[in-house]
């Protein structure tokens, strides 16, 4: 399928919260006509906000299911069962259903919809808002190459996409789905350190954010291993190695490994909508 064909499809975002709105804005930037996009929301004020902000039509879930070719389900994992129960009578097997919910397996969605419905599971992340997202994609039982291409036509314009076997989705959720939060957490913590060292908060924030951007661009563009890049900063008997020793003493590497393992485990728990 070409990008042009994909753009002529009607896409509905069901449950347009943080990630749903981020995807919606990305589709509009990528050239989707607002007339070909539908949104659903639980509250009327939220629906009105989305209509004003993006020029899209807000409809109910049943209407969206009937009118759209592709449905993006972006409610919380705990709300998926109720949403699918509501949608089931209205979703024909000709639809593509994309689930963005953490932990929810494609079989969970397939089992609640008409037999044969194509389901694709996608784990995006919030940098889709600035077209730097990472979206990890897996096909369900009835999804073929065409369905994967349709999903990619939505997620590729807002960042990178990667196809993985579905058994890797919980790990991907821990790494890239939640990943941006870890970097924000580090920035928060390092800004606090700047304050301790006597810098004004705004200045500490700017120093750390620009360092993060510089480091991220070098990681992406230099082709160098992170160890090499770190070694280039770490002068003999200098400042950086003193900091690294403290990070090692405080078990930061082990803490990160344990943290991502906990995120992976939580994703697995959500599989039943828990
Ligand atoms: N926030 C993130 O960074 C990411 C979130 N996700 C997944 O996306 C989903 C949504 O997450 P967020 O956007 O963070 O949550 P959110 O709470 O901001 O958005 C969910 C929205 O769904 C609405 N909703 C719930 N039931 C509904 C229904 N029956 N009909 C219509 N609207 C309904 C809620 O009112 C809310 O606005 C979750 O499953 C999460 O695992 C996936 C990747 C990244
Ligand atoms: O925290 C969460 O459960 C969602 C899924 C990945 C990012 N946010």
Q: What confidence tens digit (pLDDT) does each residue in 148-166 have?
A: 999 999 999 999 999 999 9
Last residue of a domain, one of 107, 139, 168: 168
Please tell me whether 228 is known to bind a ligand. no
Residues contacting residue 51 through CB under 8 Å, at least 6 positions apart: 39, 57, 58
**What is the whole-number distance in angstroms between the Cα of residue 43 and the centre of ligand 2?**
22
Shared domain check, 184 and 147: no
Residues contacting residue 258 through CB under 8 Å, at least 6 positions apart: none
Q: With respect to residue 233, please indicate whether it lies within any of the assigned structural domains.
A: yes
The protein residue with its alpha carbon nearest to ligand 2, atom 7, reads 178
Confidence check: pLDDT of 1 > 60? no
Shared domain check, 109 and 156: yes
* Cα 95 from Cα 98, distance rounded (Å): 10
pLDDT, tens digit, 9 for 90 and up, residues 93-135:
999 999 999 999 999 999 999 999 999 999 999 999 999 999 9
Spell 93-104 as b/e; 16+ CB within 10 A means b.
Answer: eebbbbbbbbbb
Shared domain check, 163 and 75: yes
The protein residue with its alpha carbon nearest to ligand 1, atom 34, reads 15
Q: Is the interface score ipTM higher than 0.90?
A: yes
Shared domain check, 151 and 17: yes
Shared domain check, 67 and 159: yes
pLDDT, tens digit, 9 for 90 and up, residues 16-41:
999 999 999 999 999 999 999 999 99
Q: With respect to residue 235, please indicate whether it lies within any of the assigned structural domains.
A: yes
How does strand 159-163 pair with strand 133-139?
parallel
Shared domain check, 102 and 63: yes
Shared domain check, 227 and 147: no
- Four-CA torsion 36, 37, 40, 44, nearest 10 degrees: -90
* Cα distances (Å, whole numbers) of residue 50 to 31, 61, 256: 17, 15, 37
Q: How confident is the model at residue 272 (pLDDT cuts 50, 70, 90)?
A: confident
Shared domain check, 93 and 203: no
Total structural domains in the chain?
A: 2
CATH number assigned to the domain comprising residue 18: 3.40.50.720
Residue to mutate, 19, 178, 179, 185, ligand 2, most ligand atoms under 8 Å from C-beta? 178
Spell 230-259 as b/e; 16+ CB within 10 A means b.
Answer: eeeeeeeeeeeeeeeeeeeeeeeeeeeeee
Give residue 70's region: left, alpha or beta (phi > 0; psi -120 to 50): beta
CA 106 to chain centroid, in Å, comes to 17
Q: With respect to residue 200, please indicate whether it lies within any of the assigned structural domains.
A: yes
Shared domain check, 34 and 126: yes
Last residue of a domain, one of 126, 149, 168: 168
Q: How confident is the model at residue 3 (pLDDT cuts 50, 70, 90)?
A: low
Q: With respect to residue 62, please indicate whether it lies within any of the assigned structural domains.
A: yes
| Contacts by residues 235-243 (CB-CB < 8 Å, ≥ 24 positions apart) | none
Structural domain boundaries enclosing 13? 3-168
**What is the whole-number distance in angstroms between the Cα of residue 149 and the centre of ligand 1?**
24
The protein residue with its alpha carbon nearest to ligand 1, atom 36, reads 17
CATH number assigned to the domain comprising residue 194: 1.10.3730.10
Is 103 close to ligand 2, i.e. is its CB under 6 Å away?
A: no
Residue 13, phi then psi, degrees to nearest 5: -100, 120
The protein residue with its alpha carbon nearest to ligand 2, atom 8, reads 178
Q: How confident is the model at residue 8 (pLDDT cuts 50, 70, 90)?
A: low
Q: With respect to residue 174, please indicate whether it lies within any of the assigned structural domains.
A: no
Is 158 close to ligand 2, i.e. is its CB under 6 Å away?
A: no
Q: With respect to residue 173, please indicate whether it lies within any of the assigned structural domains.
A: no
How does strand 57-58 pair with strand 70-73?
unpaired
Whether 88 and 63 have beta carbons less than 8 Å apart is answered as no
Smallest CA-to-CA distance from 144 within 211, 96, 81, 200 is with 96
The protein residue with its alpha carbon nearest to ligand 1, atom 17, reads 17
pLDDT at residue number 27: 96
* Cα distances (Å, whole numbers) of residue 238 to 91, 127, 129, 233, 250: 63, 35, 39, 9, 20
pLDDT, tens digit, 9 for 90 and up, residues 46-65:
999 999 999 999 999 999 99
CA 23 to chain centroid, in Å, comes to 9
Q: With respect to residue 126, please indicate whether it lies within any of the assigned structural domains.
A: yes
Residue 68, phi then psi, degrees to nearest 5: -95, 150
**What is the whole-number distance in angstroms between the Cα of residue 137 and the centre of ligand 2?**
15
* Cα 21 from Cα 28, distance rounded (Å): 11
**What is the whole-number distance in angstroms between the Cα of residue 75 and the centre of ligand 1?**
3
Shared domain check, 132 and 43: yes
Q: With respect to residue 27, please indicate whether it lies within any of the assigned structural domains.
A: yes
Please tell me whether 75 is known to bind a ligand. yes
Alpha helices in 94-225 (DSSP H): 106-110, 145-155, 169-172, 179-196, 201-221
Shared domain check, 55 and 28: yes
Shared domain check, 190 and 104: no
* Cα 121 from Cα 109, distance rounded (Å): 9
Last residue of a domain, one of 146, 168, 190: 168
């Amino acid at each position: 399928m070409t990008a042009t064909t994909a753009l002529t499809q009607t896409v509905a975002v069901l449950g347009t919260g943080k990630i749903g709105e981020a995807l919606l804005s990305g589709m509009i930037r990528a050239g989707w006509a607002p007339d070909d996009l539908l949104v659903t929301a639980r509250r009327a004020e939220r629906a009105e906000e989305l209509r004003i902000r993006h020029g899209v039509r807000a409809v109910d879930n049943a209407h969206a299911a009937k009118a759209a070719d592709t449905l993006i389900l972006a409610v919380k994992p705990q709300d998926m069962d109720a949403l699918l129960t509501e949608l089931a009578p209205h979703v024909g097997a000709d639809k593509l259903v994309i689930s963005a919910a953490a932990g929810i397996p494609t079989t969970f969605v397939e089992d609640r919809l008409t037999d044969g419905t194509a389901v694709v599971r996608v784990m995006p992340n919030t940098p889709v808002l600035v077209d730097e997202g990472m979206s990890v994609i897996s096909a369900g039982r009835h999804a073929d190459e065409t369905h994967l291409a349709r999903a990619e036509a939505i997620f590729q314009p807002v960042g990178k996409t990667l196809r993985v076997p579905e058994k890797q989705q919980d790990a991907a959720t821990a790494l890239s789905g939640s990943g941006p939060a870890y970097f924000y957490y580090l920035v928060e913590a390092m800004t606090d350190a700047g304050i301790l060292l006597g810098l004004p908060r705004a200045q500490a924030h700017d120093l750390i954010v620009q360092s993060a951007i510089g480091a991220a661009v070098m990681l992406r563009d230099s082709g160098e291993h992170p160890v090499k890049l770190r070694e280039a900063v770490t002068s003999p008997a200098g400042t950086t190695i003193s900091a690294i020793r403290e990070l090692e003493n405080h078990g930061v590497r082990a803490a990160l490994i344990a943290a991502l393992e906990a995120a992976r485990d939580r994703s697995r728990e959500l599989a039943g909508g828990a």
